Amino acid sequence: MLQKIRGYFITGLIVILPVFITLNILFWALRFLDGIVGRFLTPYIVHALGRPLYGLGTVLLVLITLFTGMLATNVFFKRIIPFLEHWFQRLPLVYSIYPSIKQLVLLLFAKDKNPAFKKVVLFEYPKKGSYSLGFVTNDFTAQANAAVEVVCIYLPTVPNPLSGFMIIVEKKDVLFLPIAIDAAFKTIISGGSLFSDEFLSPAVQAWIRARSGAGITEQA
């Protein structure tokens, strides 16, 4: 009897907990967005109506964002924005924060033909026999004793892909995967629970076996 009750309780948790956490995250996000603009308007609204209007800040923020996007696509404002950004970045403290934030936003939302995350890759890290999923952000040829092709890889953390590490790896030690960027992000955020079969394709398995064989040969 107790085991049945325990089973019902666990099943109920599986159903209710994701819904509860999702609603709480949405509620927190809406309150945060509402507070960006709402905090300036609420005193005047309370004075005029006697009570706050929840959600008004979010609506105004969406409208401001849309209006800013319309201006940014205008030919005239396209020429002005770089000058405004240059001036803004010269302000004290701003220059050390703004460029990083802008790059992060571009990584997440840029839809141009030269995205910051170019390819999804698999590479051996942090040790032999362990493999990590990353995103190529740049590639170039390093000039030392001989020209070596290398790639810059962004290695995100789990479950928060907004933080991570930048690693430089030789191109020959990297396997480029035919996987969409957003699909790879879903795999990382889920901690591997949303694992695509493409990660275990015959080509990937053959590459891993070849790497393992090379490692054994080197040890010998």
Domain ranges of the chain: 119-219
pLDDT score, position 216: 42
User: Rounded distance, CA 101 to CA 88, Å?
Assistant: 13
Q: Which regions of the chain are under pLDDT 50?
A: 113, 216-220
Q: Residues near 184 by Cβ (< 8 Å), separated by ≥ 6?
A: 120, 133, 135, 177
Comparing CA positions, the residue from 195, 201, 193 lying closest to residue 175 is 201
User: Rounded distance, CA 83 to CA 142, Å?
Assistant: 34
The 10s digit of each residue's pLDDT in 172-201 is 888 888 888 878 888 888 887 777 777 777
Contact 1, 7 (CB under 8 A): no
The 10s digit of each residue's pLDDT in 129-138 is 888 889 998 8
φ/ψ of 110, rounded to 5, equals -65, 135
pLDDT score, position 219: 45
pLDDT score, position 96: 76
Angle in degrees, CA 206, 169, 128, rounded to 5: 55
User: Rounded distance, CA 220 to CA 214, Å?
Assistant: 10
pTM beyond 0.75: the answer is no
The 10s digit of each residue's pLDDT in 203-214 is 888 888 887 765
Contact 67, 77 (CB under 8 A): no
Topology of the domain comprising 119-219: SH3 type barrels. (2.30.30)
